Structure 1
């Protein structure tokens, strides 16, 4: 072996060693693993409607996980005021692909009810969202809603059954009513009687937290 050939092999080995040493550094440079993300897909109840965004329960959730979870996940709020299950279903594949969440929180149905959508239609859209999330290896938390009494007891009961049956069929935790302890207190509801005030948001988070924490 001549001297030039020996030097070439040494140089090649040097580059190989340098590459192996750099691989862990390059992996770290990609940033934190987004599999720890929590994706909240909801409507105005989760989009901080008519209150400061910082006061909304989803933003308060971000603060809580930082305080109570050793490796806190990113909280991604994809909620939109006025969103329906059909609209969210259309957006969900892109959100799952982009954020690759480990948990998907679904808070939808209020606008469907206000627009007269049947519980069967509501169920079909929610079911597709649950299935898509689970196929993406995400755990699902389902947040139920209720409607004003003027919708009638039969419709309200069918709505409750829709969430309960989906939760049982797909083995996902269910919060039957997101605004439990809030909706019937005028001092915690905005003038429209549909949306909670900023003062109510900690209670909304307290309703969600016991079911969400075990999924993190």
Structure 2
């Protein structure tokens, strides 16, 4: 069954491929890496630029309807940019994870680390959300999707926030071993 090896890449602009052509967006690059490793997968791009975890929660039904075997949940950067309370981000992500688990879809959580300029206390609370959810749901975590590319200007677009093609390859390389392990476990 073709949908049995589908990975839903569900997130914001980092998933969608802001400023890039589709073949250079995270889902396409991740799919290519996994295929090179022998996995017969299709990575579906379910990213929408500008979305927060609240937007993602409102949009979870198409992901559930797709019935992928794996879903990479990658929200959070826009939450801290907008100053969303960390507890609200956590509740939104938890509701998404509940929905995925209820439908027997294996989640992978792609976290983000808040920027220091948002304040020490906010950063501490926000950064704790992703490891806490990974622990609570016993799911794999990539702790900081932004950290895979953001600190090298050669890996970003001119806005110095979004990944360029190399930055996306870095994100995909960080996610590929996690996705491969989950695919092996769900085979």
* TM-score, length basis structure 2: 0.92
The answer as to 2:18 corresponding to 1:49 is yes
The answer as to 2:174 corresponding to 1:207 is yes
Q: Is the 8 A contact 1:52 1:198 kept in 2?
A: no
The answer as to 2:9 corresponding to 1:40 is yes
Partner Cα distance (2:154, 2:128) in 1:
29
Q: Is the 8 A contact 2:30 2:175 kept in 1?
A: no
User: What RMSD, in angstroms, separates the aligned Cα atoms of the two structures?
Assistant: 1.3
SS at match of 1:77: strand
For structure 2, the 5+ residue unaligned runs are: none
Q: Is the 8 A contact 1:144 1:177 kept in 2?
A: yes
- Partner in structure 2 of residue 92 of structure 1: 60
User: What's the CA shift for 1:66?
Assistant: 2.1
User: What's the CA shift for 1:101?
Assistant: 0.9
- Partner in structure 1 of residue 120 of structure 2: 153
Partner Cα distance (1:115, 1:77) in 2:
24
* TM-score, length basis structure 1: 0.80
The answer as to 2:131 corresponding to 1:164 is yes
SS at match of 1:141: strand
- Partner in structure 2 of residue 187 of structure 1: 154
Q: Which moved more, 1:32-41 or 1:122-131?
A: 32-41
* Greater radius of gyration (CA): 1
The answer as to 2:22 corresponding to 1:79 is no
Query: Higher RCO, 1 or 2 (CA under 8 Å, sep at least 6)?
Result: 2
- Partner in structure 2 of residue 102 of structure 1: 69
SS at match of 2:71: strand
The answer as to 2:60 corresponding to 1:63 is no
SS at match of 1:45: helix
User: What's the CA shift for 1:35?
Assistant: 2.2
Partner Cα distance (2:171, 2:73) in 1:
14
- Partner in structure 1 of residue 80 of structure 2: 113
Q: Is the 8 A contact 1:164 1:176 kept in 2?
A: yes
> How many residues get paired?
183
